Amino acid sequence: MFTTRFTKSFAGTTLVAGVLGLAALVGAGTASAAGDTDFIRELEQAGFSGKAQTAIGYGQAVCEALADGATETQVVSALANKTGLSAQDAKIFAVIAAKNYCPQYVR
């Protein structure tokens, strides 16, 4: 669960980065179109821009990493490394992703 943090623990940023990379390549996966639309809208309102399908893939990867037990630090670090976002922007992105795709991790 997180407000601005994730709480699960995981022993490998490499796996988190792998999940993030794979999801970005695969794209949207199983998320609903309405969820995708809300996610993209929130990202745009927060000042993010770019390809929607790529963002959706990374957003879903955040949830996959959390489900696999990744910590906030691991998810944010892997997201920043994969995307070139600053740590702060990666954290904002991850919070928006979790809110839209895996709200069970949001307090």
The domain locations on the chain are 13-105
Looking up tokens 């795709």, which residue turns up?
Answer: 101
**Residues, the chain, total?**
107
Q: What's the whole-number mean pLDDT along residues 92-103?
A: 95
pTM above 0.85, yes or no: no
User: Quick one: three-class SS letters along the chain?
Assistant: CECCCCCCCCCCHHHHHHHHHHHHHHCCCCCCHHHHHHHHHHHHHCCCCCCHHHHHHHHHHHHHHHHCCCCHHHHHHHHHHHHCCCHHHHHHHHHHHHHHHCHHHEC
Per residue in 29-88, pLDDT tens?
Answer: 444 677 899 999 999 999 999 999 999 999 999 999 999 999 989 999 999 999 999 999
Per residue in 3-18, pLDDT tens?
Answer: 333 322 223 334 444 4
